[in-house]
């Protein structure tokens, strides 16, 4: 296997990978090599451009930390995340749609009771969220596990604070025996995805803004149902038509109702503004 040129190299790499025992992995790698090489041939990639690409990917990797995932940002801003989400969630029409996972999920978040204030001191206007978790036939899903996470009024997640102790604006809870859930927090605002790193530089070079419309992340799961990773978006938010990560789905946009003052959903009288919303999730049955 000598003297490979820009055309013969592709088959040579695929043949070298033929000892991969897992059929699926071998297939994925053959397709990856094929498309990577075809890209480089189609654009006649130069050595300088290849070097720039190596430098860029290295910088993306180097800025990653346990709480910063720049490769997910890259996947999000290149539309790969939306593509992968879309093609893996074909389901009945009345099911709640999935959207991108994003880089701010945290594992092992503590469980709280329904009705808890999950903001844990985060800054923003009080926000009361409620709804139900049901299956496609309308059946309530008792005790469904609901994880929520969101930014604050300045657009930052808790994990972006280097001095963070504990969780803010994120929690896991369980729906009640009728599949109902409710919690209090603060209202997340629009925010730019972290743009002080290589992906931010890329967006700037591409004359693209880094902003996302206001949203609240959810991950829902229950035995016998497909896990759902999604957001709810605020109707009327900026950037609904130009989300930096291509994640908006009309069915996930809902009214976040502003109240100047009055009685909160938990029966407290307040002279200050608060916001309420309701979103009812429908989970797909797990595939066998």
End-to-end, the C-alpha distance of the chain in Å comes to: 45
Smallest separation (angstroms) from a second copy to the CB of 159:
16
Query: Distance between CA 142 and CA 176 in Å, rounded?
Result: 6
Task: Please provide residue 184's backbone torsions phi and psi, each rounded to the nearest 5 degrees.
Answer: -110, 145
**Region binding a second copy by CB under 8 A among candidate stretches 2-10, 135-143, 159-167, 272-280:** 2-10
- Site for a second copy, residues 263 to 282, rule: CB under 8 A: none
**Region binding a second copy by CB under 8 A among candidate stretches 11-19, 139-147, 187-195, 276-284:** 11-19
Contact between 190 and a second copy per CB under 8 A: no
Q: How many residues bind a second copy (CB under 8 A)?
A: 74
Contact between 87 and a second copy per CB under 8 A: yes
Contact between 108 and a second copy per CB under 8 A: no
Smallest separation (angstroms) from a second copy to the CB of 252:
9
Contact between 243 and a second copy per CB under 8 A: yes
Q: Which three-class secondary structure state does DSSP give residue 218? A: strand
Contact between 230 and a second copy per CB under 8 A: no
Smallest separation (angstroms) from a second copy to the CB of 120:
28
HEC profile for 67-119?
CECHHHHHHHHCCHHHHHHHHCCCCCCCCCCCCCCCCCCCCCCCECCCCCECC
Contact between 158 and a second copy per CB under 8 A: no
CA torsion 42-43-47-52 (nearest 10°) is -130
């Amino acid at each position: 296997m000598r003297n490979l040129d820009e055309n013969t190299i592709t088959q040579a790499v695929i043949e070298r990978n033929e000892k991969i025992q897992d059929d699926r992995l071998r297939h994925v790698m053959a397709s990856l090599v094929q498309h990577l090489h075809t890209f480089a041939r189609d654009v006649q990639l130069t050595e300088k451009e290849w070097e720039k690409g190596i430098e860029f990917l290295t910088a993306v990797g180097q800025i990653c930390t346990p709480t910063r995932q720049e490769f997910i940002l890259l996947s999000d801003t290149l539309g790969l995340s939306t593509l992968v989400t879309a093609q893996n969630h074909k389901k009945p029409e009345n099911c709640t749609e999935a959207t991108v996972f994003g880089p701010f999920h945290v594992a092992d978040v503590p469980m709280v009771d329904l009705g808890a204030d999950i903001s844990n001191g985060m800054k923003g206007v009080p926000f009361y969220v409620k709804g139900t978790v049901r299956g496609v036939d309308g059946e309530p899903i008792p005790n469904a596990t609901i994880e929520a996470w969101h930014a604050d009024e300045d657009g930052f997640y808790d994990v972006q604070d280097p001095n963070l102790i504990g969780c803010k604006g994120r929690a896991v809870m369980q729906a009640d025996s009728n599949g109902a859930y409710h919690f209090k927090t603060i209202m997340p605002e629009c925010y730019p995805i972290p743009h002080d790193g290589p992906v931010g530089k890329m967006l700037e070079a591409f004359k693209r803004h880094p902003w996302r419309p206001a949203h609240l992340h959810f991950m829902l799961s229950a035995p016998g149902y497909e896990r759902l990773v999604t957001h709810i978006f605020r109707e009327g938010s900026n950037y609904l038509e130009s989300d930096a990560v291509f994640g908006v789905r009309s069915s996930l946009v809902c009214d976040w109702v502003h109240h100047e003052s009055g009685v909160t959903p938990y029966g407290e009288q307040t002279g200050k503004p608060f916001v309420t919303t309701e979103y009812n999730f429908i989970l797909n049955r797990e595939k066998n």
